[in-house]
């Protein structure tokens, strides 16, 4: 991989990170606090749904549903952000 390819790949990775962070902030405002916590603890931290359920007063199944719903919202928000015109403000 050439130098410019490496820089391009690094730029793309940083762009994706920023996009995900912005989408995450927006989605977090759209969901209940426990839903976000269940997503964060399960998808990001890798904690067992049963442990999370006990912490948050949810069943393990509800933790998995919360995780899936937040992931779907994140995907939609990232797509929406990618599809917006470049001159549109956030």
pLDDT in tens, 14-55: 999 999 999 999 999 999 999 999 999 999 999 999 999 999
Q: What Rg value do the Cα atoms of the chain yield, rounded?
A: 16
pLDDT value of residue 4: 83
Which of the four pLDDT bands, split at 50, 70 and 90, describes residue 85?
confident
Q: What is the dihedral of CA 3, 81, 69, 52, to 10 degrees?
A: 50
């Amino acid at each position: 991989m050439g130098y410019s390819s490496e820089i391009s790949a690094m730029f793309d990775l940083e762009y994706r990170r920023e996009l995900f962070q912005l989408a995450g902030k927006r989605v977090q405002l759209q969901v209940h606090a426990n839903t976000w916590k269940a997503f964060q603890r399960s998808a990001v931290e890798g904690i067992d749904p049963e442990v999370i359920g006990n912490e948050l007063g949810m069943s393990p199944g509800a933790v998995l549903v919360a995780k899936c719903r937040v992931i779907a919202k994140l995907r939609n928000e990232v797509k929406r952000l990618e599809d917006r015109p470049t001159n549109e403000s956030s």
